[in-house]
Amino acid sequence: MPGQAVAHAGRTGDDRRVSDYRNIVILTGAGISAESGLATFRGADGLWEGRRVEDVATPGAFRRDPALVHHFYDARRARLAEVEPNAAHNALARLDAAWSGELLLVTQNVDDLHERAGSKRLLHMHGELKRGWCLACGERFAWEGPMGEGAVCPDCTTAGQVRPDIVWFGEMPYEMERIDQALSRADLFVSIGTSGAVYPAAGFVQTARYCGAHCLEMNLEPSQGSIFFHESLIGPAGQLVPAWVDALLATPTNPARCRDRGRGPRPSAN
Ligand code: BV8
């Protein structure tokens, strides 16, 4: 497997064989879209570079200066037309199509590269650039092109009350019950291209581990939560993820050893 492997030996949950995995939860961050040409948040040319998060990604910022916030998100939405999913996105879509067990891909990203690669069992916990939310009627809807302050709601036709359907700091991420349910059933938790700086996403590894999952991260550098992972593969996602998916799909799952969640302890190995 390319990339430098750092195994944190002797932690519970690492006695698993690949063939034991049935239920998988994958978390992705901005790092998985970096090789497609999308800026990350904290990198050198990071999205937050020169901008205070508070000025563009909080409800307060939108009340204070909606034009600035719309400009920030309109530019990112327009950029999507100039980029394509990369080998890491495509590999996860392949896994989604081939994996017979449970699989949930939770992305912090608001870009549309996972779905353009073909991932189906996917949820955007921080919203999507290509969706809008009308604060007048509460409706949410697909949105293409610039939004701007004068945007008209396609449902109630109110003008000027449409905001990006994106989770800003201080706002509750989407589908947290569904995510917690999947984490509690996971045999394998995989984190790809995220710095582990933002909660509640940064806490998923602890929840998954606590529930007995084997935890693996693939990242260009150890994340802030690296200590909680059983394994860290350090390198570019575009290389690590396809090789990891190939290895996983090449391993016949051993249903006998798979943990039937909630139906008694897993049969002993020997
Ligand atoms: C909430 C949408 C309350 C907007 C985003 C506990 C402790 C401390 C603070 C908190 C806490 N709980 C809550 C908070 C506050 C806050 C928070 O976490 N603050 C941080 C800064 C300390 N959290 C919140 O406000 C959350 N809401 O808690 O609500 C609540 C609770 C209950 C009920 C009601 C309310 C909401 C947070 C969501 C904010 N919205 N995104 C937008 O996109 O514009 S967060 C945004 O930043 C992203 O979605 C993502 O989550 C985060 C960025 O992180 P990454 O994606 O990891 O990107 P980053 O650049 O940091 O790292 C990239 C990584 O990739 C690097 O490690 C790099 O090495 C690697 N990499 C780069 N290239 C590659 C690569 N890896 C592999 N291959 C490569 N090629």
Report percent pLDDT > 90 for the chain. 78
Between 4-8, 128-132, 175-179, 221-225, the lowest mean confidence (pLDDT) is in: 4-8
Rounded to an integer, what distance in angstroms lies between the CA atom of residue 34 and that of residue 127?
19
Q: Average pLDDT, whole number, for the chain?
A: 89
- The rounded Å distance from CA 205 to ligand 1 centre is 14
Q: How far, in Å, CA of 84 to CA of 102, rounded?
A: 27
Contact 26, 103 (CB under 8 A): yes
DSSP labels, 110-121: -SSHHHHHT--S
Tell me the pTM: 0.92
CA distances from residue 242 to 3, 81, 106 in whole angstroms, order as listed: 12, 24, 18
Protein residue closest via CA to atom 33 of ligand 1: 172
* Tokens 């698993």 sit on residue: 16
Q: Identify the active-site residue in 114, 124, 126, 230.
A: 126
- What does DSSP assign to residue 159? B
126 is catalytic: yes
Identify the band that residue 252 occupies on the pLDDT scale cut at 50, 70 and 90. Answer: confident
| 241 Cα: distance to centroid of ligand 1 (angstroms) | 21
Compute the CA torsion angle 161, 115, 19, 4 (nearest 10 deg): -90
Q: 28 CB less than 6 Å from ligand 1?
A: no
Nearest to 131 by CA among 174, 84, 191, 85: 174
176 lines ligand 1 (CB under 6 A): no
Joined together, the tokens standing for residue 112 give 């549309």
User: In the structure, what pLDDT confidence band is assigned to residue 48 with cuts at 50, 70 and 90?
Assistant: low
